[in-house]
Amino acid sequence: MKRIPIGRSPIPVIQPDQTVKEVMARFPATERVFVQHGLDLCCGGSHPIQMAAQAHGVPLAPLLADLQRVVHEGEPRPSWMKDVADHEVDVREDLRKGSDPFKKIMAVAGEVKPGQVMLVRAIFEPKPLYAVLGTKGFEPFAEQVGEQDWKVYFYKSPTVGTRIPIQAVSTLPSTPGKTHRLDVRGLEPPEPMVKILSTLPDLGPNDVLEVTHFREPVHVYPHLDEAGFTHDLLKESDTLFRLTIKKKG
């Protein structure tokens, strides 16, 4: 899937009060979407999308969704997409409350069978989650459907076999004794945990990952053990923890 590169602005969201002409001028590829829905530049396209859709009896929500997909760099939906996902987990309220929904997402992911699709609703694109679920055979596809509103689909390949251990997917050369430092204090849940897990493939056999956290990341411990890593924690204050991670053996 195509993602928003670091440093770029978020993908613009098409609003119903924008005019047809305005949207087509900024995003020429949207013309075919308007035509497919029975809309065009009649009368100069000066009417807001919502008004034009209402006048022509066109459902607004599907129109906006199709326009947004074209704006999303023209990326087509993958062939495995379904109108209704097999499993769905909505973590938007969890994220707004500052709760960490990682465990909730992983619990649902554990129920997904090969060939099925899981839909995660979030308020941002959870990019670090791609690496974590990728080790379990999931392929992601994300759509931004509104401000702080993302639909992220995860397809579990029917050909996936034994799960690849996280430590086996590193493509970086091992440098004995190298220390990797990661500060996750400024990240919103669930990014601290998934950022830690997605950094593990970078570790060589004798490397160490030092994580600076604003709280004790107790939920990450089982995942570290499963992946073959040990950890030590140093509490410097109530809001400052330093976690040291390295491979077992």
Three-state helix/strand/coil letters over 45-71: HCCEHHHHHHHCCCCHHHHHHHHHHHH
Taking 60 as the threshold, does the pLDDT of residue 44 lie above it? no
Determine the pLDDT at residue 100. 78
For 112-179, the DSSP string reads: PPTT-EEEEEESS--HHHHHHHHTTTEEEEEEEEETTEEEEEEEE-TT--SPPPGGG---SPP-TT-E
The pLDDT of residue 183 is 93
Please check whether residue 229 is in contact with residue 246, taking contact to mean a CB–CB distance below 8 angstroms: yes
pLDDT of residue 182: 92
The strand pairing partners of 152, in sequence order, are 120, 142
- Residue ranges of domains in the chain, CATH in brackets: 1-76 (1.10.3910.10), 87-156 (3.30.110.40), 166-247 (3.30.110.40)
Is the pLDDT reported for residue 163 higher than 50? Answer: no
Banded pLDDT at 235 (limits 50, 70, 90)? very high
Residue 112 has pLDDT above 90, yes or no: yes
* pLDDT value of residue 155: 94
Q: What is the mean pLDDT of residues 79-105?
A: 88
Q: Report the run of H or E that residue 191 belongs to, with start and end.
A: helix 191-199
The reported pTM is 0.50
Q: What is the mean pLDDT of residues 138-156?
A: 85
SS3 40: coil
Higher-pLDDT residue of 73, 51:
51
Average pLDDT of the chain?
80
Dump pLDDT digits (tens) for 13-40: 788 888 888 888 777 778 878 888 887 6
How many CA atoms are closer than 13 Å to the CA of 195, on its beta-carbon side?
A: 19
Averaged pLDDT for residues 83-94: 93
